[in-house]
């Protein structure tokens, strides 16, 4: 999984370099609370970046608020790809950070081919 900051195009115009993140809300996901620091460490080792902004319990809500211009979110590539492709979100900085952890989908029983769960699993694997 790759992570990188994403935001609405209008907000991106205010961001010239990572230091500018101190001037805007930086949205976070409660589950992936260490993502901002992981990215900051990769961009500038030793940088003790503390995101200033709301924390969401659902990543989808954080993405929706980011699309609406509420701030900058640490995006997970597969979960923001559609918004990047449509232009609803942009990546204001060039650096992406590959996480050591990976996403996994577990199922108590085999997924039926063509089922909604199988389609989601295929999408996540793409």
Task: Report the first-to-last Cα separation within the chain, whole angstroms.
Answer: 12
Residue 109: pLDDT band with limits 50, 70, 90: confident
Please state the rounded mean pLDDT for residues 84-104.
89
pTM of the model: 0.80
The 10s digit of each residue's pLDDT in 11-45 is 999 999 999 999 999 999 999 989 999 999 999 99
Per-residue pLDDT, 48: 87
Residue with tokens 């003790």: 48
pLDDT beyond 80 at 69: yes
Instruction: Write down all domains in the chain, each with its CATH number in brackets.
Output: 2-125 (3.40.190.10)
Which are the contacts of 17, defined by CB distance < 8 A and separation ≥ 6? 93
Bridge partners for 6 per DSSP: 73
Per-residue pLDDT, 43: 93
Per-residue pLDDT, 101: 67
Contact 106, 112 (CB under 8 A): no
Integer Cα distance of 74 and 91 in angstroms? 10
């Amino acid at each position: 999984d790759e992570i990188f900051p994403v935001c609405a195009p209008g907000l991106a115009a205010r961001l010239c370099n990572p230091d500018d993140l101190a001037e805007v809300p930086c949205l976070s996901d409660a589950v992936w609370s260490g993502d901002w620091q992981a990215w900051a460490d990769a961009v500038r080792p030793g940088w003790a970046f503390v995101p200033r902004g709301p924390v969401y319990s659902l990543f989808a809500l954080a993405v929706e608020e980011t699309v609406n211009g509420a701030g900058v979110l640490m995006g997970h590539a597969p979960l923001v790809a559609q918004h990047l492709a449509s232009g609803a979100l942009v990546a204001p900085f060039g650096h992406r950070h590959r996480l050591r952890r990976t996403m996994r989908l577990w199922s108590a029983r085999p997924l039926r081919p063509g089922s909604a769960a199988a389609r989601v699993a295929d999408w996540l694997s793409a």
